[in-house]
Structure 1
Amino acid sequence: MALRTFLRTLGSNAPSVDTVTGTGRILPGAPLDLTVHLRGGGADLDVERLRLELVVRAEDREADGSTAWNNPYVVTAVTEGPFRLPAGAHLTREVRVDVPWTMPFTHARGERLRGSRVAVRTELAVDGAVDRGDFDEIEVHALPAQDMLFGIYEDLGFRFHESEVKVFSQPWPERYRSRRSTDYWQELDFHFPDSWDYKGWELETVLITFADELDLHPGGNPPVTLSYADMDREKWAQAVERHVRRHWNR
């Protein structure tokens, strides 16, 4: 039975849930603070579960559409409960979600990435029924190191096309197994420069991000690892160009 149908059997005044984000803009690796307001309805209610999910649009979970996300993928979640919501009461829950370093980002260099979407989804479970009514889209901005790589690609003549999140229920493909820690990854698609003789091709780049460094996989090839402790743009640019040309040279 749907939750709203169940709640209507309790009386005309159904309970409500509203989730408020401390900010609509976060970074990978930084905590996300949420405030959940619950208002009781016309009868006491035993809540089995209050769950806050950080979800992303995953390319291979959508039937079609470049930005559709009818079946988002849950990156991380926090669950509270069970607890009682008295009739007419107002309960406030402060919840902190630890955003992983591998969190797909929606913005780079201040601009939205085509195809990348992230939201906070609130789930309330009562008497075996689940309601996922509260769905708040947020922005995840690239880390300084990720922004720098976008600039380096641009300097090399690459043009960004779109972002896709890939999800594998099976083990990761061999090409990404260097230091994987999740069953998802963000793929950034760039058009090759005309001077590289790959007209019409795209370089599918995967960034596997950690607290102190990141792995850049160009086109599914082994990674070049770049440390945040030495974020020298010229050095990074030389390392990236050398690595990409090593695998894409003809």
Structure 2
Amino acid sequence: MVFKKMLQALGVGGPSVDTVLTNPNCRPGGFLEGQVHIVGGDHAVDVEYVAIGLMTRVEVESGDNEYQTNQEFHRQRLTGSFRLESGARHDVPFRFEVPWQTPITEVYGQHLHGMTMGLATELEVARAVDKSDLDAVQVHPLPAQERILEALLRLGFRFHKADVERGRVYGVEQELPFYQEIEFYPPSRYASGINQLELTFLPTPRKLQVILELDKRGGLFTEGHDAFGSFDVDYATVDQVDWTGQLDNWLRQSAQRRGLFF
């Protein structure tokens, strides 16, 4: 994928940048590879640095208000300073590490509604910094994440939407200042007690942490509330487990502990 943008902060006749990804598809803990092609403008300039950063759309709660903002969460400086002559071309190859807890954006070839993910290129000349538009990146689930998603689909849960929320999840290893929630509608057999199921993945190099949140329905004289649970998935043995049965048991036991019965 290619994007091209004249660097507005550097004025008319300044350098232009093309960033080319070898493949915009990746997984958490993997890599994005490509090249940044910089072409000099009408006059020579001293470039301070070239950097790339991975960005996503994050939901932020502030008091009673809620808003969304683009947040860069991983950054790599590709160069130091160099002289870019008029009309000269400077190519910068890169291999960009994707953080383990990067939110996923695709499931089985379908984009997760509500997700935005992209790579931005930044160049500084004479203290003027300009960032490119986002170059879209598709983040696919790890095999262990796929097993959990497959199990939920087999149980009849249907995708609703996904978002990224700023904040921390208690009691787990979390490396980024936000976490992803993937929301599902429940099948009829669970719908009597659950409005929706919210799923959060927090992978590490050693294990996959899975957090489930049950949005409990309120009764005529009771208010609905959320119930949480979590478990770890071992990468080495993930294919040896009946995740459909495990999740069904967990959902029923978790619900029963909180007074829900399916």
Q: Same fold (TM over 0.5)?
A: yes
- Count matched residues: 234
Offset of 1:85 from its aligned partner?
1.3
Which stretches in structure 1 are left out of the alignment for 5+ residues?
Answer: none
Q: 1:233 to 1:189 in 2, by over 3 A?
A: farther
SS at match of 1:179: coil
Percent pairwise identity: 29
CA contact 1:224–1:243 (8 Å) conserved in 2: no
Residue 244 of structure 2: aligned partner = 237
Distance 2:229 2:22 in 1: 38
In the alignment, which of 168, 176, 181 is matched to residue 187 of structure 1? 181
Corresponding position: 1:73 with 2:77: no
Q: Deviations over 1:145-169 (max 9, x none)?
A: 112211100111211111111123x
Change (3 A) 1:94 1:118: same
Distance 1:242 1:85 in 2: 63
Matched, 1:209 2:203: yes
Match of 1:218 among 209, 212, 226: 212
Separation (CA, whole Å) in 2 of partners of 1:140 and 1:23: 11
Does the 8 Å CA contact 1:123/1:134 hold for their aligned counterparts? Answer: no
Partner of 1:14: 14
Shift of 1:49: 2.5
Question: Any conservation in 1 of the 2:73–2:176 contact (CA below 8 Å)?
Answer: no
**Deviation, structure 1 residue 194:** 1.9
What amino acid does structure 2 have at the position aligned with 1:40? G
Contact 2:9–2:129 (Cα < 8 Å) also in 1: no
Distance 2:90 2:192 in 1: 58
Q: Is the 8 A contact 1:224 1:240 kept in 2?
A: no
Distance 1:192 1:56, change over 3 A: same
Question: Are the aligned partners of 2:35 and 2:93 in contact in 1 as well (CA < 8 Å)?
Answer: yes
Q: In the aligned structure 2, how far is the partner of 1:44 from the partner of 1:86?
A: 4
Partner residue in 1 for 2:150? 151
TM-score (structure 1 length as normaliser): 0.85
**Alignment partner, residue 24 of structure 1:** 24
TM-score (norm: length of structure 2): 0.81
